[in-house]
Structure 1
Amino acid sequence: MDPLSDLALPSRHVLTRLRDRRSGPVHIIDPFKVPPSEAVEKARALDDLGFPFVILASTDYESFETRMPPYVARIKAATSLPVLLHFPPRKGTGFPLTPGADAVILPALLGSQDDYFVWKSFLETLLTMPGRLDREQWPELLLTVALTFGEDRRTGDLLGTVPVGTRTDRLDRHIDVAVSFGFHMVYLYSRHSHVPPDVVRHFRDRLHPDQILFVSGNVRSRDRVTAYLDAGADYVGFAGALEDDDWRTTLEALAAARPGLVPHIRGARP
């Protein structure tokens, strides 16, 4: 018997929303660093500004099953934003899941030396999901090629990743995998430096038009967002840029990189 035969994965139309509403900046909140009340306040500001969704993500996490359900529920109760999860998998269960999440980013780490993080974690998630969530709670699964640029010992130690170089032939091998297997999204990330805009442009030129190109890492200015959008990124993620007390001003500046967003947050200083 096929162990996957009963898995009728739901569509919450998140992928359609991502494709229809691109492009622009997207905020990434670390729920193991940002208190729930602050996350709700920032999510409301994102909703006011017309952001398409919010991502909850962290490299490290503990007590996921107890912290995340109320965290997600508070954001969902306060905003209309779809909530996407982006956490690394753990052997034995796969990617962490929680009720209320609309979608989960499932990254295939093509630069990892451990094939669990390349593809086995996805299969394990499918096999364990029925025992972790009721069927009506299953999130939409966003199949993603994830690549790390620049030195990143933290991710390397945890997930076995090796930084991807910028040689065209190596980039093309990863692009071929993304296109051939029909991944929904490609996620380019740099923890300590920046993904080169030329790399972003190279991916956009060769990916299928329906494939979403996401870039993040040390994005703190409107100019950086604009540079990536001009290079062909669909979404540009930012996290640490909102860690200061005047985060509303920073958020408005970043939002302005996308034409058509609401110009001012309700409740912010004029």
Structure 2
Amino acid sequence: MEPSPDLALPSRHVLAGLRDLRPGPVHIIDPFKVPPAEAVEKAVALDELGFPFVILASTDYESFETRMEPYVARIKAATSLPVLLHFPPRKGVGFPLVAGADAVILPALLGSQDDYFVWKSFLETLLTMPGRMNREQWPELLLTVALTFGEDRRTGDLLGTVPVGTGTAQLDRHIDVALNFGFHMVYLYSRHAHVPPGVVRHFRNRLRPDQILFVSGNVRSRDRVTAYLDAGADYVGFAGALEHDDWRTTLSGLAPARPGLVPHIRGARR
């Protein structure tokens, strides 16, 4: 049975590009903390240094469409970088979307005690997308298993998550979900600590080669980036490392060894 044309998923140009890129660091900008002009300046620097894409993400947000549409448009006008969104869903709407974004990370929070954040939010997003924007404006959907390591009361209060244990049996249960349900990506995150490199290595050893492994949380040095890449991560996200006046110096130290873009992702939704 063919899916309804109204619910057909966007073509996977971004996903194909992410799979083809060489592993490396990625910057995450909080658009509800970083002013638009500063975000554009950072995005231009990222583009010049060969970063593959930029992620706009925040745990909290208000008036999403009002703020995000011009925010995304300014970054897209100034750079060639694909823009990915990573925001939690809200009941009654699903994941927030905005015209101009190339892709949106849709996390299934397997560590949540609320099944809305485990899987129902994805279905709600699919059902509400046709009424929120025209089909040609839809971002590509990246289906993601998201796991939080270490204490994180902020995310726990908002999304019902509990810290994921690092025992092999518990990790394997989550990996089995990622494998059996065809997720595109696994996102490992720690707000106050670090995801253990051994956990990253265990996921990489069991995931399919085409499943993207993303790690973030308290990444502030090239050594940390290198440790995660050596453990098998495809992308290592950093955010707070650039929240100071001398961010250009830090950014140059975190930059990829060489440009990692491939031609078909450079043209995504431009």
- Which string of whole-angstrom CA distances, capped at 9 and with x for unpartnered residues, describes residues 24-49 of structure 1? 00000000000000000000000001
Stretches of structure 1 that go unaligned for 5 or more consecutive residues are 263-270
**In structure 1, C-alpha distance between the alignment counterparts of 2:74 and 2:126, rounded to whole Å:** 27
Task: Tell me which amino acid in the other structure corresponds to 1:174.
Answer: H
Structure 2 residue runs without a partner (length 5+): 261-270
Q: Distance in 1 between matches of 2:12 and 2:54?
A: 15
1:103 counterpart letter in structure 2: A
Contact residue 47 and residue 80 of structure 1 kept, 8 A? yes
d(CA) in 2 for partners of 1:133, 1:18: 25
Cα distance between partner residues in 1 of 2:75 and 2:12: 17
Secondary structure of the 1:6 match is: helix
* TM-score of the superposed pair, with normalisation by structure 2: 0.94
2:48 aligns with 48
Aligned to 1:130: 130
- Residue 4 of structure 1 and its aligned partner are, at CA, apart by 4.7
CA distance in 2, matches of 1:74, 1:235: 24
Q: Matched residues in 1 for 2:39 and 2:5: separation? A: 38
Q: Confirm or deny that 1:119 pairs with 2:127.
A: no
Identity %: 87
Aligned-pair CA distance for 1:8: 2.1
Greater Cα shift, 7-16 or 218-227? 7-16
Matched letter for residue 32 of structure 2: F
In structure 1, C-alpha distance between the alignment counterparts of 2:3 and 2:33, rounded to whole Å: 37
CA distance in 2, matches of 1:119, 1:5: 22
Partner of 1:253: 253
The 3 A distance-change label for structure 1 pair 12 and 36 is farther
What corresponds to 1:232 in structure 2?
Answer: 232
2:153 match: 153
2:235 counterpart letter in structure 1? Y
1:107 paired residue number: 107
Offset of residue 5 of structure 1: 5.2
User: Which stretch has the larger CA shift, 183-192 or 16-25?
Assistant: 16-25
Cα drift, residue 11 of structure 1: 1.6
Deviations 1:76-131 (A, max 9, x none): 00000000000000000000000100000000000000000000000000000000
Q: Take 2:218 and 2:110, find their aligned partners in 1: how far apart are those partners?
A: 22
Q: 1:183-194 counterparts in 2 under 5 A?
A: 183-194=183-194
Matched AA of 2:46? L
What CA distance in whole angstroms lies between the structure 2 residues aligned with 1:6 and 1:69?
A: 23
Q: Quick one: structure 1 residues 60 and 230, their matched pair in 2 at CA, closer, same or farther if it must change by over 3 Å?
A: same
- Offset at residue 20 of structure 1 (A): 0.5
Match of 1:171 in 2: 171
Structure 1 partner of 2:37: 37
Q: In structure 2, do the counterparts of structure 1 residues 79 and 148 end up closer, same or farther at CA, with 3 Å as the change threshold?
A: same
Shift of 1:141: 0.1
Superposed structure 1 runs of 4+ greater than 2 Å apart: 1-6
Over the residues paired in the alignment, what is the CA RMSD in angstroms? 1.4
TM-score by length of 1: 0.94
- 1:143-178 CA-partner distances (Å, limit 9, x unpaired): 000000000000000000010010000000000000
For residues 192 and 38 of structure 1, the distance between their equivalents in structure 2, rounded to whole angstroms, comes to 25
